[in-house]
Chains A and B, each alone.
Chain A
Amino acid sequence: MKNNLRQTLIRNETDESGLITGTSLWEDAWKRLRKNNMALASGVILLCLGVICLLGPVILGVFLGYDAHTQNLAYGPQPPSLQHPFGTDFYGRDLLTRVLIGAQVSLSVGFLAAMVAAFIGTIYGAVSSYSGGLIDSLMMRIVDILYALPYMFLVIILVTILGKSLLLLFLALGAVGWLLTARVVRGQVMSLKEQDFVLAARSLGSTSRGIIFRHLIPNTLGPVIVTFTLTVPSMILQEAFLSFLGLGVQPPQPSLGSLINDGANQMLVFWWTLVFPGSIMAIMLFALNFLGDGIRDALDPRMKT
């Protein structure tokens, strides 16, 4: 670590112009991430997957007239063919279209739920840590207690209370998933709040709210992004978990979880209805995990294992 720092300093000092140019955290992280081929490849795969999920159903709909909902019982389930690369499902719907829409749903639920979690967790952690004292220990005690509740069961209860809609689904997931972010942010703010720039801000008359939102939270962005990228795949997994149990996204709206559930029920006869949504789900999670690992290593080299 120290060695690295010295090397950076030396390199910066011998820049061609003779001026010392620092590398920001983000430049440094980007440099590290670029060297990580697997993470980059995962990023490209995810980008492609995202674009295909967005445009694919539209293109399939315009050129071939497929859509995710219209049933054709007479046509029924067909094995993969040139016409239907992923085959068709029990109701004669093109499976490729349904898988793409399902992946769209999964990705958006994953990102939105992770965003809700990051939002709540960051503010909660920062406020708790900045307040310190009794408020801090009380707020963290609540986090500890929530940690002790069976997470997935809590989500299931919330889903049954709030009703089964897509919007409420990611709210429920996010409402339970912010604990890790809160802890991480609290740890960061603990050391940040003692630093001189906070004292300077306070002596210039900043309010507590101003200090928390203007000075402390922006400085925790690195670790928050790291937790965010690792939260996204776990949120996607949980959405699929719920949809697999019939608690998440409701038919006829497809999601990867519900498609896998349908496929699992008919896999003996129509294997493709399980294999294709399952593989897309696995590829998506694989890429997200790899990219998340890469971003963590790039932003926080000390956490690297």
Chain B
Amino acid sequence: MIRILLQRLLELIPTALVIVAASFALVRLAPGSPFSSEKEIPPEVRQKLEAKYGFDKPLPEQFIRYLGNLLRGDLGLSTKYPQRTVNEIIANGFPVTLSLAAIALLWSLLVGITAGIIGAIRQNTVWDHVAMTAALVGISVPSFVLGPLLVLTVSLRLHLLPPAGWGDWQHVVLPGLTLGTIYAASIARLTRGGMLEVVRSDFIRTARAKGLSESLIVWRHMLRGGLLPVVSYLGPAVASMLTGSVVVEKIFNVPGIGPYFVDAAFNRDYFLVMGIVLLYAFFLLLMNLIVDVVYGFLDPRVDVS
């Protein structure tokens, strides 16, 4: 098991290298420069600035240097916020984004799996129809519609929760709900589909025949089948939760990493853009690896290596 894991980790290295190179090329070959958007800078100041960040060197040399710094965990300096390193900005913002995504994930798993189970064990009843219609509505209401609507009703009319900010547990509820709902809906559909797939299979019949209680059959045997598609969905879902939190952070004024990224992309803040893209890419690779391993654990037929 550990050997396989190590092997998979080793395989990630070339992928990670290509990702670094590709995003470096994409960011650096774009027209414009970090200093072009500001007001006219005297050429000598500009030269000094470029020297400070190493932009005066040829691109390949810059790339090698960036790679070297990256290996040491140094993501470079921000050009937009000259007083701060990219590491600092990420260390400030990313934990917030991450906890927001974690709460959204928890909420979506809880609601999604429950609704999916109800839909599957009460197939074609009113319960099923209500759960699945709710799921389809959930998929169709984007976060930037749901978020403001929740603020309007829950915060501003009913005064139950704060409309914006960060710090208390109360600040977490609405953003988490907003971010997680669309995934809850997908998870509900996947759980239901997965469970219905196994419901007529032989091992369920065997379980019934040997007299297992219905609840044990549902929890131990059917749910396992139902969770397989959910697990493989989790990798991309967490990734899009992390990027999707840009909008939620804007709506609820949450001090995450999202707003920095949009800003940085506009201001050609090379190192900040690279840093955030690489951070997310790294996270995505890791998520997919975990998903693969968990998948093999849930379904012994899958060969993880």
A binding-site residues for B, Cβ under 8 Å? 144-145, 148-154, 156-157, 160-161, 233, 237, 240-241, 244-245, 247, 257, 260-261, 263-264, 267-268, 271, 274-275, 278, 281-283, 285-286, 289-290, 305
Inter-chain contact B280/A260, CB cutoff 8 Å: no
The count of A-to-B residue pairs whose CB atoms sit within 8 angstroms is: 121
Ranked nearest first, the 6 interchain pairs of A and B with the lowest CB-CB distance are A305-B193, A286-B140, A264-B148, A150-B280, A285-B140, A278-B145
Inter-chain contact B27/A264, CB cutoff 8 Å: no
Inter-chain contact A237/B142, CB cutoff 8 Å: yes
Within 259-305 of B, Cβ neighbours of A (below 8 Å) are at 261-262, 265-266, 268, 273, 276-277, 280-281, 284-285, 288
Inter-chain contact B265/A150, CB cutoff 8 Å: no
Q: Interface with A: B43-51, B168-176, B235-243, which one?
A: B235-243
Q: How distant is the Cα of A253 from the Cα of B189 in the complex, in angstroms?
A: 37
Inter-chain contact B151/A267, CB cutoff 8 Å: yes
Interface residues on B, range: 35 or more
Within 169-205 of B, Cβ neighbours of A (below 8 Å) are at 189-190, 192-194, 196-197
Which B-chain residue is minimally distant from A263 (CB atoms)?
B148
Inter-chain contact B265/A257, CB cutoff 8 Å: no
Which A-chain residue is minimally distant from B261 (CB atoms)?
A153
Q: How distant is the Cα of A149 from the Cα of B285 in the complex, in angstroms?
A: 9
Flag whether B246 is at the interface (Cβ < 8 A).
yes
Flag whether B130 is at the interface (Cβ < 8 A).
no
Inter-chain contact A260/B277, CB cutoff 8 Å: no
A286 to chain B, nearest CB (A): 4
B binding-site residues for A, Cβ under 8 Å? 15, 18-19, 22-23, 26-27, 30-31, 136-137, 139-142, 144-145, 147-149, 151-152, 156, 189-190, 192-194, 196-197, 239-240, 242-244, 246-247, 250-251, 261-262, 265-266, 268, 273, 276-277, 280-281, 284-285, 288
Give the interface SS of chain A, mostly helix, strand, loop or mixed.
helix
Inter-chain contact A257/B144, CB cutoff 8 Å: yes
Inter-chain contact B15/A149, CB cutoff 8 Å: no
Most buried by B among A161, A271, A281: A161
Inter-chain contact B27/A157, CB cutoff 8 Å: yes
Inter-chain contact B152/A268, CB cutoff 8 Å: yes
Inter-chain contact A260/B262, CB cutoff 8 Å: no
B265 to chain A, nearest CB (A): 5
Q: How distant is the Cα of A271 from the Cα of B149 in the complex, in angstroms?
A: 9
Q: How distant is the Cα of A105 from the Cα of B138 in the complex, in angstroms?
A: 23
Q: How distant is the Cα of A281 from the Cα of B137 in the complex, in angstroms?
A: 12
Can you list 18 contacts pairing A with B, beta carbon distance less than 8 Å? A145-B15, A150-B284, A153-B243, A153-B261, A157-B27, A157-B30, A157-B273, A160-B265, A241-B142, A260-B145, A261-B144, A264-B148, A268-B156, A282-B142, A285-B141, A286-B140, A290-B136, A305-B197
By a CB distance below 8 angstroms, the chain A residues around B142 are 237, 240-241, 281-282, 285
Inter-chain contact A305/B246, CB cutoff 8 Å: no
Inter-chain contact B262/A247, CB cutoff 8 Å: yes
Inter-chain contact A148/B277, CB cutoff 8 Å: no
Inter-chain contact A152/B265, CB cutoff 8 Å: no
Inter-chain contact B23/A149, CB cutoff 8 Å: yes
Q: A153-B277, A240-B142, A281-B142 are in contact. Are A148 and B19 (CB under 8 A)?
A: yes
Inter-chain contact B22/A145, CB cutoff 8 Å: yes
Q: How distant is the Cα of A72 from the Cα of B235 in the complex, in angstroms?
A: 49
